[in-house]
């Protein structure tokens, strides 16, 4: 199951709630405002570092670029739209809205 998080961790707890139920090794995809969780030095950095111990974490590069974000937490893999589609094709999807 691919867990997709699109809300900012500064305003919502979607990331934390998805991580509570996601089984180990389930991939997490940050997109739209969810990419703010990927920023190095953000309030969510410890949450993401902890998540990386149990999950592959991806962030949608076009959403990162659109928000002018540059420094990401080490270990986050960025994906373009083709990578996004590949993740969707490889997994059942749980959008965490």
Q: Return d(Cα 97, Cα 93) in angstroms, integer.
A: 12
Phi, psi of 6 (to 5 degrees): -120, 5
| pLDDT tens digits for range 24-57 | 999 999 999 999 999 999 999 999 999 999 999 9
In the chain, what are the domains?
Answer: 2-96 (3.40.1260.10)
Predicted structure pTM score: 0.94
CA distance 97 to 90: 20
pLDDT at 95: 74
**Confidence (pLDDT) at 41:** 95
């Amino acid at each position: 199951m691919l867990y997709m998080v699109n809300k900012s961790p500064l305003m919502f707890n979607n990331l934390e709630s998805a991580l509570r139920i996601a089984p180990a090794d389930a991939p997490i995809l940050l997109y739209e405002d969810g990419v703010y969780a990927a920023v190095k030095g953000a309030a969510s950095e410890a949450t993401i570092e902890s998540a990386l111990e149990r999950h592959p974490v991806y962030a949608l590069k076009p959403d990162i670029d659109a928000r002018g974000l540059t420094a990401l937490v080490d270990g986050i893999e960025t994906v373009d739209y083709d990578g996004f589609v590949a993740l969707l094709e490889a997994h059942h999807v749980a959008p965490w809205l």
